[in-house]
């Protein structure tokens, strides 16, 4: 599948900030959209511009088909962002930038950092990973993206990230299930290929009650950088970025320019 990258904008800026010294690109979890990060500028330094990445199939891009393979998705994001380097209106990569990704977004941001380095010789100044196992350790749980719909929806219910009102709304789920299936396919068909370590610092966040990603898994992200590594464990389950958002942003802000 090939999306026409020039036909839409990959980036949603909740609060445009042309005076910012750094852009923080934020990547959503499976099924999530840029809406997750709409309030983040309220709690981060004014020197930082939050740039939420909008993936196809959701938000303002709801009419575009979602990607179901990591390589295709990351290639498309890289092309979409790098094609804006020289533009006057939205020059996203013309100054220092950092990545933040939660769960699926963490893996996407990691692979995007590696691709930008290899293809364009540019890198984020910091990589923030949240609630995601490291790429070199595969998930022992069986894949769910190809399950029959009732079973798939039941598995999604166990993740505790989709409101019951959405799960029980047939019309909403008709729109939501294809996006979720595609996102889980991105994760469950992913194959890690070793490359040179990243030169940027990696800071990892985890939830104390996250049964899917424990502290040992989070610590293993240290194996992917030549630079500084930091790990912060916050209260909450896999979706601690919502329940402990203020604590998360307080810690994240310490690594960003003021």
**What are all long-range contacts of 60-63, with beta carbons under 8 Å and residues at least 24 apart?**
60/8, 60/9, 60/12, 60/34, 61/8, 62/175
* Opening angle at CA 30, ends 92 and 74, nearest 5: 40
DSSP string for 24-77? EEEEPPTT--GGGGTTGGGGS-TTEEEEEE--TTSGGGTTSPPP-SHHHHHHHH
Q: What's the confidence (pLDDT) of residue 160?
A: 75
Pick one of 3.30.70.20, 3.40.50.1820, 1.10.600.10, 1.10.3720.10 as the CATH number of 5-138+192-253: 3.40.50.1820
Q: What's the confidence (pLDDT) of residue 173?
A: 85
pLDDT tens digits, the chain, 258 residues: what are they?
444 444 357 899 999 998 899 999 999 999 999 999 999 999 999 999 999 999 999 988 888 899 999 999 999 998 878 765 444 334 467 789 999 999 999 999 999 999 999 988 899 999 999 999 999 999 999 999 999 999 999 998 888 777 777 778 888 888 889 999 999 999 999 999 999 999 999 999 999 999 999 999 999 999 999 999 999 999 999 999 999 999 999 999 999 977
Q: What's the confidence (pLDDT) of residue 83?
A: 62
- pTM (2 decimals)? 0.92
Tokens of 103: 């769960």
Distance CA 220, CA 245 (A): 23
Instruction: Please list the active-site residues.
Output: 103
């Amino acid at each position: 599948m090939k999306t026409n990258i020039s036909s839409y904008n990959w980036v949603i800026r909740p609060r445009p900030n042309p005076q910012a010294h750094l852009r923080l690109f934020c990547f959503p979890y499976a099924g999530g959209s840029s809406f997750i990060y709409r309030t983040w500028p309220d709690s981060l330094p004014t020197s930082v511009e939050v740039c939420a990445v909008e993936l196809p199939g959701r938000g303002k891009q709801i009419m575009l088909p979602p990607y179901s393979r990591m390589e295709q998705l990351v290639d498309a994001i890289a092309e979409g962002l790098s094609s804006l380097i020289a533009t006057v209106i939205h020059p996203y990569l013309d100054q220092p930038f950092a990545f933040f990704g939660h769960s699926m977004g963490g893996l996407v941001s990691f692979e995007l950092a590696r691709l930008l380095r290899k293809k364009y010789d540019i890198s984020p100044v910091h990589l923030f990973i949240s609630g995601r196992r490291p790429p070199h350790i595969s998930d022992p749980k069986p894949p769910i993206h190809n399950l029959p719909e009732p079973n798939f929806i039941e598995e999604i219910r166990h993740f505790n990230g989709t409101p019951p009102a959405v799960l029980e709304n047939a019309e909403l789920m008709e729109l939501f299930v294809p996006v979720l299936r595609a996102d889980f396919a991105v994760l469950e068909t992913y194959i890690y290929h070793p490359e040179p370590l990243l030169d940027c610092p990696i800071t990892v966040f985890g939830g104390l009650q996250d049964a899917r990603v424990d502290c040992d898994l989070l610590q293993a992200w240290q194996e992917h950088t030549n630079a500084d590594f930091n790990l912060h464990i916050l209260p909450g389950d896999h979706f601690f970025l919502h329940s402990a958002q203020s604590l998360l942003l307080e810690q994240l802000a310490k690594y960003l320019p003021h």
